[in-house]
């Protein structure tokens, strides 16, 4: 064979390899784009539909302070990242809405623009999850895992809130992916670059929320990997450089942490010094919700029940099957990450006494990774058995089409989603009302109050910040909004008292005990499928509020130490009653 012929034979495999690599790159890029657009469209759909929550109202107030140049001591218990992003989004949104009004283009409400950064980050997490999974499994499993994130009602609902968990999850997952690239890099120089990028990702995660355990769980995953011989020896990791980059990134993205007043606010927040109300209504029972109470707070089954009832059944089956596979087969990276960032994180959240639905967001990518692993294993098995395309198509329709169709039926009400295990629509807002309903209807309640309340009225509510925002938007700055949970609040004649089942605390339980049994004039407010609030006009002369019950509402409540020992279970019979609008006495006097 001539030298020329030998050279041609050598070039052909190289060319073929380059072509295959190019095709795989374009295929993966197309999948990432498709799934990211899908996730964005779902999360953006009517994103401004529900009212601002109390925490979102605090973000709104912080943005207004930032615009005035005040950065220190503003919502100090949380980092700057989300507030700066919200500031930029609201500024762009205001300019866009002005321009759109001139050309009849689509516009978005201020609530939507406030949440828009999280919508983008939530959609972008779809892409990062796919890329991360591609380092651990095949394209089919990676597609499934990222698809599950894109259409999961729980992930969608949490990404549509202006809360810190979404950027925390995005930047942590990005940092884990970049760290994986560093571990798998071919050269020392390439590894150093990937480690630097990973450190930047973790720095931005810390600047999103003051949470450190996710960083430690990533290190634990690679510790597990090292024990099973899945890491490169010797290690190319440089501790000093890595932590220096994290620190510099964190300070640059969150410089206010250097001010003593902000650091002091963080410490106060960690010690619950700023907590003015307590209690989480889980399945009708009121529990204390403090991290320090560990297993004595909200039941440890909270997150297990959350995942069982708020995950579409086909996805849930895949996650359970994948979890079992990964726990049985420990000699792969997917198992290391699932055990650390999935199982151990979920166990830690379950032990903590403080539980909120949004805390589960950082666990979801790892659970969907397990689901993708099960899909990949099933696909490999089907190819080995050479099963028919018809069977494969039926399986794909069940796994992918059904969750998408189910999501569509809950459009705009994603936070209320329950699968058949949880009882579906008949049990809406039964289990996780404080997170599902929260301040969902504040806008509607404020509109009712603004149109009927007399001048100078007092309005007592368990959501004072968001209610103040909407009352002022109505132009009723004369209405005095008071925290219903304030121990110093005493009900007065003519007060408007709003009872929100989703905002039932130990400090407000006395109002639920008395007002629901009274004949006071009231109005019930329903938003979509949810009975959300009841507006009462306080009148101590009604027969049901004389004597002991009247004293209960017109005296200071019990001390927190007395309240801690009690729990209350309300009657859920009225949760799905038809909305009634009863006349207020002052309507005919105006």
Three-class HEC string of 286-319: EECCCHHHHHHCCCCCHHHHHHHHHCCHHHHHHH
Residue 125 and residue 155: Cα distance in Å, rounded?
Answer: 10
DSSP 8-state assignment for residue 339: I
Residue 414 and residue 244: Cα distance in Å, rounded?
Answer: 41
Residue 528 and residue 51: Cα distance in Å, rounded?
Answer: 13
Per-10-residue mean pLDDT for the chain, 590 residues long? 52 69 89 97 93 92 93 85 96 95 91 97 98 96 97 97 96 98 92 96 96 94 92 84 96 91 73 74 89 83 96 96 94 95 95 92 97 94 79 81 92 92 91 85 90 92 93 93 91 91 89 88 84 88 56 47 40 32 35
Candidates 380, 99, 330, 97; CA nearest to 227 is 330
pLDDT at 234: 74
The count of C-alpha atoms lying within 13 angstroms of the C-alpha of 315, restricted to the half-sphere facing its C-beta, is: 32
Peptide bond into 234 cis (omega under 30): yes
Do β-strands 496-499 and 458-461 pair in parallel, antiparallel, or remain unpaired? parallel
Q: Give, in order, the Cα–Cα distances in Å from 13 to each of 18, 19, 143.
A: 9, 10, 29
Enumerate residues 6+ apart whose C-beta is below 8 A from 418: 309, 310, 424, 425, 427, 428, 431
Which residue in the block uniquely carries the two structure tokens 């009148």? 539
pLDDT at 57: 93
Q: Copy the structure tokens of residue 447.
A: 């509109």
492 C-beta neighbours (distance < 10 Å), count: 13
Enumerate residues 6+ apart whose C-beta is below 8 A from 409: none
Which residue in the block uniquely carries the two structure tokens 């380059």? 18
End-to-end Cα distance, the chain: 105
pLDDT at 554: 53
Task: Label residue 73 left, alpha or beta by phi (over 0 means left) and psi (-120 to 50 means alpha).
Answer: left
pLDDT at 235: 80
Residue 115 and residue 63: Cα distance in Å, rounded?
Answer: 13
Do β-strands 480-483 and 458-461 pair in parallel, antiparallel, or remain unpaired? parallel
- Where do the structural domains in the chain lie, given as residue ranges? 6-257+291-416, 439-589
Cβ pair 196, 248 in contact under 8 A: no
The DSSP line for 454-475 is PTT-EEEES-HHHHHHHHHHTT
């Amino acid at each position: 064979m001539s030298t020329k012929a030998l050279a041609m034979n050598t070039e052909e495999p190289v060319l073929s390899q380059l072509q295959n690599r190019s095709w795989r790159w374009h295929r993966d890029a197309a999948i990432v784009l498709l799934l990211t657009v899908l996730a964005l469209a779902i999360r953006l759909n009517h994103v401004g539909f529900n009212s601002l929550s109390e925490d979102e109202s605090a973000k709104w107030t912080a943005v207004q302070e930032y615009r005035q140049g005040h950065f220190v001591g503003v919502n100090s218990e949380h980092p700057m990242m989300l507030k700066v992003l919200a500031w930029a989004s609201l500024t762009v949104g205001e300019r866009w809405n002005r321009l759109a009004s001139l050309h009849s283009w689509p516009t978005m409400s201020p609530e939507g623009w406030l949440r828009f950064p999280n919508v983008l980050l939530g959609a972008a997490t779809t892409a990062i999850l796919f890329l991360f999974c591609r380092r651990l499994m095949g394209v089919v499993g990676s597609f499934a895992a990222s698809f599950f994130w894109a259409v999961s009602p729980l992930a969608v609902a949490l990404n549509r809130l202006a809360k810190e968990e979404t950027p925390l999850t995005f930047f942590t997952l990005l940092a884990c992916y970049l760290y994986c690239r560093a571990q798998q890099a071919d050269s020392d120089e390439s590894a150093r670059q990937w480690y630097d990028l990973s450190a930047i990702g973790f720095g931005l995660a810390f600047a999103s929320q003051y949470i450190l355990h996710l960083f430690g769980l990533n290190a634990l995953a690679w510790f597990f990997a090292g024990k099973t011989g899945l890491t490169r020896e010797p290690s190319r990791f440089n501790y000093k450089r890595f932590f220096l980059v994290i620190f510099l990134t964190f300070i640059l993205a969150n410089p206010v942490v250097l001010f003593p007043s902000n650091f002091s606010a963080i410490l106060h927040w960690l010690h619950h010094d700023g907590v003015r109300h307590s209690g989480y209504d889980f399945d009708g029972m009121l529990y204390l919700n403090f991290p320090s109470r560990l297993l004595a707070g909200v039941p440890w089954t909270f997150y297990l029940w959350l995942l069982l009832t708020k995950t579409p059944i086909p996805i849930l089956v895949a996650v359970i099957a994948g979890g079992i596979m990964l726990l049985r087969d420990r000699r792969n990276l997917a198992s290391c990450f699932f055990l650390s960032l999935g199982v151990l994180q979920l166990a830690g959240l379950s032990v903590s006494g403080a539980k909120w639905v949004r805390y589960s967001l950082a666990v979801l990518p790892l659970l969907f990774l397990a689901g993708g692993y099960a899909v990949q294993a099933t696909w490999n098995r089907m190819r080995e058995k050479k099963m028919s395309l018809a069977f494969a198509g039926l399986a794909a329709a069940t796994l992918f089409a059904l969750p998408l169709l189910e999501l569509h039926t809950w459009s705009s009400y994603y936070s209320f989603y329950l699968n058949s295990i949880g009882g579906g629509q008949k049990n809406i807002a039964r289990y996780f009302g404080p997170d599902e309903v929260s301040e969902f209807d504040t806008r509607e309640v404020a509109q009712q109050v603004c149109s009927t309340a007399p001048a100078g009225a007092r309005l007592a509510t368990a959501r004072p910040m968001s209610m103040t925002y909407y009352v002022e938007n109505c132009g009723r700055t004369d209405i005095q909004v008071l925290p219903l949970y304030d121990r110093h609040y005493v009900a007065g004649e003519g007060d408007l008292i709003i009872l929100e089942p989703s905002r039932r605390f130990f400090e407000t339980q006395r109002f639920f005990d008395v007002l629901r049994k009274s004949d006071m004039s009231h109005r019930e407010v329903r938003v979509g499928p949810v009975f959300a609030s009841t507006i009462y006009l306080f009148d101590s002369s009604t027969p049901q509020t004389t004597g002991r019950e009247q004293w209960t509402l017109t005296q200071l409540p019990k001390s927190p130490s007395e309240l801690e020992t009690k729990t209350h279970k309300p009657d859920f019979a009225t949760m799905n009653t038809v909305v009634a609008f009863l006349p207020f006495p002052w309507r005919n006097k105006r």
